[in-house]
Structure 1
Amino acid sequence: MLEVWTGIDPVIAEARLRGLRRRLAELDQALVDQQVLARENPNSFGIALSGESLRSIEAALRLELVDVLRHRQAEKVSIVLDGPSFAQHSAKLADLGVIFTRL
């Protein structure tokens, strides 16, 4: 089995990563909603303050994401081309594009 994580329990790392990505997705939607409110009420101090708060939370979550991803190792991926269309394990760029979009 390929070890993807170093210096951290893989189960904990994956759970943290999932949680952070979910929270960032929810936060993105909250930021969109806040921007709509800010456009509708440009002079509202409360709405402006909520935007600053959301951006502060986003920065903290991104720092936590960086902290988790520091423990992730690069995964090596190798692809061997074989078959009648691939001479000497090479292919046209268009063929490779099709292969890579399906990965």
Structure 2
Amino acid sequence: MIRATLLTLPLVLLAGTGQARDAGCRIEQAGRVVLDRTCDFAPDGRDGSFTLSPRGGGQGMLFGSVSVVSVSVIEPGLAEVRGLTRDGINSRWGTARRSQRDGACWQGDDFRICAR
């Protein structure tokens, strides 16, 4: 289950250190596809962390009320995943493991994120 928490500190993850590029983005939640289209992929450091946002740096929504999804690597093969909503709520989705079959994908308890 995805849990929402109020954003109390600046979301440093969004600052990204890499230049955004187009990527094929797919997000599934509870077995249902919620996003399957091109979006902006911005690497964040050298550890494999990244953010996904609307294509072209737009201020719109990535999907539903989610404007940005961040995958922050906390150790090799393991990441903390969060979504930022239009209302400024930093929603903690939980941890995800990098797929051994498809390195472009991260699998959590009830979500899957792929960026190619």
What range is the shorter-chain TM-score in? under 0.3
Given the two structures, how large is their TM-score scaled by the length of structure 1? Answer: 0.19
Structure scoring higher RCO (CA < 8 A, sep ≥ 6) equals 1
Q: TM-score, normalised by structure 2?
A: 0.18
Which has a greater percent of helix? Answer: 1
Q: Which has the higher strand share?
A: 2
